[in-house]
Structures are given as structure tokens and as C-alpha cells.
């Protein structure tokens, strides 16, 4: 029986494990934290079930809905009518933004400036290299500055240094005409009208997969940290793992890593080339801080999510857990999450809760979402590697790392972190199926490279 070792117990790693166990493999998952699920987990806090998010589920990928529903269980999920909004210039707009709504509700002079800048931009011949180039071309300087610049600075850093690829993958509309067309057609490639959500939190997906894995005699090692990936004759033969202050070496025939691709080259022994190590260090991520604000109200938002692109607000997105499933919260109370991003050395990430709380509450009150006297509890969670940063030139560094990893024929680096790819949950499930078939059918490295090209084609649909 072939032994497969999987690094990481998030959606991708868990689903691969279940596929391989069903095919007769001996599977062990090594997970650094005390629970499975990664950023897609749920946890109990007093009388709440909380997500690290929360996360909707929507897909256009064939077969993935059926897989999702089978894992969650019939009758154990809700179909939620989606309502998102964007706060700009002191008002709330639908998201994705409707141009007509924007033009009617903002200052007529500003509206005219946006259209004039857009027309000017159409006549400027400039190579599209950066995130900023992409949206200035499609929306003009003024439209870009209002709609896209602030959010990008909050989440990824300086838009002048970010590749235009991020703009293409993350935004359904490349210009004003796309916004108009999508509004007229109600284009489902731009925005989903509804989404699926487990009644007891998004973490049910990973919890059910973990139960099925254990039921199939698969092994899940928690609080276990990989220390070394041992190679012989160009193949992984084992991984040394530290758990409970002891190091043990686990043999394997195949290694699947959903850990950060920036960490893997440094674990491999014998060491990879210095060029690979240098390239690895240039692949950057941005961290996330999620602030949970508990309120003595039945509900406070009309929306699932509200986006805050303007820099006057410390958070970039606010969500209400109860709007995803009322079964996750007490009837007479609610909780909202305010998401903050920045570099790992930023105050937004490093300040203690007692310092960040007044800033968050002040901005939530300024946005008209809460009254401070209704807040009765607060805490935050932090995660280091959440948003891949597509800096200009990142493809060169990513390719250099993948080129070396491809020489190790039984190693697969997959998932959001493992391929430096913006994956939603549906992408993770689809990716798991593709990777599992490559392993079980022994398709080889050429098919693995084709699969990566396919994964690169994933688009985010809000």
C-alpha cells in the first residue's frame, strides 16, 4: 500500500486525503495547528459559532457543487440570497458596483470628472504592467482613485508595484463598459445572486472531511511541524516532523504539500540551489487580523459583507456572521467581523486588542454600523500568510521555485499557499480532485504542469 504524507489540514489537503483513502492509499496529514480547517475553520466562543471569515460557497466549476453538498450532508446547508455593499463618499452602494447608482448618488461635478478621465484614458497608449495601470486604463484616474486604489493599498500594498495579473483575477470588470454590460445582463460571471452555507458554520466542511478520513483509518497529526523533507535519488523518502517536543521521521511514497511554497525549499535536504532559496524569499504574503465585535442587538447589517476601500477606515471589510446562518448566533445577540490588513510589522497587525479595539469601534460607529454602548465583548485573531502579493516580477520567482520542485517527481505543492494562487473553497475542492487523479493514475510531471496552467485560470466571482 502506497504511503502518502500531506502537509496541511485545510480544505485542499483534507479533500485530497479523502480521495486517496478511497483509492486504497495509506494517508497521513501533518497539521501545524491544534485543529483542521486553516482559514476555513469554525470555532465555538461562548454561545456563538464563529468563522475565520466568514466564507460563502459559490462555484461555476462542473461537479464541485455535488461534491460540496455530499460532504456537508443533505439538509445541512442553507441557500442564502447574497447582498454585498461598498461604502464610498459617505454612502452605501451595491457591490459589485453599478455605475448608474454611483453616478446618480455622487456629486455631479465628480461624476463628470470620472467620465472625462475615463475618456482621456482611452486615448493614452501605455503598456499595462501594474494593478494601477490596469484600472486607470479602464476607469480613468479619478474612477481608479475612488473605486480601487484605497482597497489595494490596504490589502496588498502599493498598487504601482502590484502586477496587473492580480487586477484581472480579482476583478470581474476591467472597465466602465464591463460594469454597464454586467448590470444590464445580470452576469453570473461577475456576481453570484446566492450562495451555499452550512447551517453550523463554514468549518463543517473540514470537520466532516476530517471525520471521514479518520473513519477510513487515515491519520491526522495535530500540533505537528515539518522540520525536514528528506530526499534520496531525487525523490522524497520521508519527512521529519516535530510533535510533542519529539522529532519523528515519517516515510512516504508521495508528498503533497499545501503549506506555503515559500517555506518548502528551505526544508528540503539535500538543499536546493541558492537561486531557488533566493526566489523563495521574494514570494511575499500579507497577514490578516480579524476583529470580532459582539453586540447586544438581534442584527445590525442589511448585508452579508460591506467593503471599505477608503483609507479613513482602518478595516477593509465588515461581515455579520448571522447573515450567513442565524443558527450560529443567539437570537438576541449578533457578532460582526472587521478585517484589517497590513504588513507583518504594522500597528494594525501587532497592536494588542486593548489598543486596536477603540480604533475599530470608532470607525464602525463612524460608518453607522454600531453604537459603542451596544458592544459587550471583543477579541481578534491573527494569521500571517493569507494574501499572496503579486508584485511585478513575482512570476519569475515563482517559476524558479516550481522548476526546482518539479525535479522531485513525487512532490506536489498545491492549494492557495502551495501554488501562490488565489483560491476560493470551490477552487480548493476542484484542485484536490485534479491532483488526486494525477497521483492515482500516475500521470507524471507533464500532466502536473498542465494542471497548474488550468489552476491559473481560476477566477474569483463575488
Its pTM surpasses 0.85: yes
Indicate whether 22 pLDDT > 80: yes
371: exposed, middle or buried (Cβ count in 10 Å: 0-12, 13-18, 19+): middle
d(CA 199, CA 76): 6
With 90 as the cut, is the pLDDT of residue 117 above it? Answer: no
* Each residue's pLDDT tens digit, 197-208: 999 999 999 999
Average pLDDT rounded to a whole number, residues 230-257? 96
3-state SS, residue 304: coil
What is the C-alpha separation between 226 and 248, in angstroms, rounded? 10
**Residue 118 cell numbers, joined:** 475615463
Q: Where are the alpha helices (DSSP H) in 242-332?
A: 264-267, 274-281
pLDDT digits (tens, 9 = 90+) for 82-99: 999 999 888 888 887 776
Q: Is the pLDDT of residue 190 over 60?
A: no
pLDDT in tens, 159-175: 999 999 998 877 756 66
Q: Write the burial class of residue 457 (CB in 10 Å: 0-12 exposed, 13-18 middle, 19+ buried).
A: exposed
Q: Residue 50 above 70 pLDDT?
A: yes
Strands laid side by side in the 235-243 sheet: 246-251, 235-243, 224-232, 268-269
Tell me the C-alpha distance between 315 and 379, whole Å: 15
Residue partners of 151: CB distance under 8 A and separation at least 6 = 307, 308, 309, 316
Which range (35-49, 105-119, 166-180, 382-396) has the least confidence? 166-180
pLDDT at 67 over 70: yes
Is residue 258 within 8 A of residue 12, CB to CB? The reply is yes
Say what the pLDDT of residue 161 is: 96
pLDDT for residue 174: 64
Question: Burial level of 302, CB count in 10 A (0-12/13-18/19+)?
Answer: exposed
Residue 259 has pLDDT above 90, yes or no: yes
Average pLDDT rounded to a whole number, residues 324-329 = 97
Q: Residue 121 pLDDT more than 90?
A: no
List, in order of start, the domains of the chain with CATH numbers.
3-36+203-283+391-456 (3.50.50.60), 97-185 (no CATH)
Give the whole-number percent of the chain exceeding pLDDT 90.
Answer: 74
- Look at residue 176 and tell me whether its pLDDT is greater than 80: no
Q: Mean pLDDT across the stretch 15-22?
A: 98
The C-alpha atoms of residue 443 and residue 410 are separated, in whole angstroms, by 11
What spatial distance separates the first Cα and last Cα of the chain, rounded to whole Å?
Answer: 42
pLDDT tens column, 398-408:
999 999 999 99
Q: Containing H/E element for 16?
A: helix 11-22
Percent of the chain with pLDDT over 70: 94
Q: Which parts of 29-163 fold into alpha helices (H)?
A: 64-72, 99-105, 108-122, 131-144, 150-155
pLDDT at 185: 54
Amino acid at each position: 500500500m502506497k504511503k502518502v504524507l500531506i502537509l496541511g489540514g485545510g480544505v485542499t489537503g483534507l479533500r485530497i486525503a479523502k480521495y486517496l483513502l478511497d483509492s486504497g492509499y495509506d494517508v497521513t496529514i501533518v497539521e501545524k495547528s491544534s485543529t483542521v480547517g486553516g482559514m476555513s475553520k469554525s470555532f465555538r466562543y461562548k454561545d456563538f459559532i464563529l468563522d475565520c471569515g466568514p466564507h460563502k460557497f459559490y462555484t461555476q466549476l462542473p461537479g464541485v457543487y455535488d461534491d460540496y453538498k455530499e460532504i456537508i450532508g443533505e439538509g445541512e446547508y442553507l441557500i442564502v440570497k447574497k447582498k454585498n455593499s461598498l461604502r464610498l463618499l459617505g454612502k452605501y452602494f451595491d457591490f459589485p458596483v453599478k455605475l448608474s447608482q454611483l453616478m446618480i448618488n455622487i456629486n455631479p461635478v465628480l461624476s463628470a470628472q470620472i467620465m472625462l478621465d475615463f475618456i482621456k484614458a482611452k486615448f493614452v497608449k501605455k503598456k499595462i504592467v501594474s494593478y494601477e495601470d490596469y484600472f486607470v486604463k479602464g476607469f480613468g484616474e479619478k474612477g481608479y482613485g475612488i473605486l480601487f486604489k484605497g482597497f489595494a493599498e490596504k490589502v496588498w500594498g502599493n498598487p504601482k508595484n502590484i502586477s496587473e495579473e492580480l487586477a484581472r483575477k480579482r476583478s470581474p470588470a476591467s472597465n466602465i463598459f464591463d460594469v454597464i454590460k454586467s448590470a444590464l445582463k445580470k452576469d453570473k460571471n461577475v456576481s453570484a445572486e446566492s450562495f451555499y452555507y452550512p447551517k453550523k458554520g463554514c468549518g463543517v466542511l473540514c470537520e466532516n472531511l476530517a471525520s471521514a478520513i479518520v473513519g477510513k483509518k487515515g491519520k491526522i497529526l495535530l500540533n505537528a511541524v515539518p522540520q525536514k523533507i528528506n530526499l534520496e535519488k531525487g525523490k522524497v523518502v520521508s519527512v521529519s516532523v516535530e510533535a510533542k517536543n519529539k522529532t519523528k521521521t515519517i516515510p512516504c511514497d508521495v508528498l503533497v504539500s499545501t503549506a506555503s511554497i515559500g517555506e518548502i525549499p528551505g526544508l528540503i535536504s539535500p538543499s536546493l540551489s541558492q537561486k531557488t532559496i533566493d526566489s523563495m524569499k521574494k514570494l511575499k504574503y500579507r497577514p490578516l487580523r480579524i476583529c470580532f465585535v459582539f453586540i447586544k442587538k438581534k442584527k445590525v447589517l442589511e448585508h452579508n459583507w460591506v467593503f471599505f476601500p477608503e483609507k479613513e477606515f482602518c478595516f477593509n471589510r465588515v461581515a455579520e456572521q448571522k447573515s450567513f446562518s442565524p443558527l450560529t448566533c443567539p437570537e438576541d445577540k449578533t457578532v460582526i467581523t472587521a478585517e484589517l490588513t497590513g504588513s507583518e510589522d504594522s500597528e494594525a497587525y501587532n497592536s494588542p486588542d486593548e489598543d486596536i479595539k477603540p480604533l475599530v469601534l470608532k470607525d464602525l460607529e463612524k460608518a453607522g454600523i454600531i453604537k459603542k454602548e451596544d458592544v459587550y465583548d471583543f477579541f481578534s485573531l491573527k494569521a500571517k500568510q493569507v494574501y499572496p502579493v503579486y508584485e511585478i516580477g513575482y512570476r519569475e520567482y515563482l517559476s524558479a521555485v516550481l522548476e526546482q520542485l518539479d525535479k522531485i517527481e513525487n512532490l506536489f505543492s498545491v492549494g492557495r499557499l502551495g501554488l501562490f494562487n488565489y483560491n476560493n473553497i470551490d477552487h480548493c475542492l476542484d484542485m484536490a480532485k485534479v491532483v488526486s487523479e494525477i497521483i492515482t493514475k500516475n500521470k507524471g510531471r507533464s500532466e502536473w504542469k498542465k494542471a497548474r496552467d488550468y489552476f491559473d485560470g481560476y477566477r474569483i466571482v463575488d
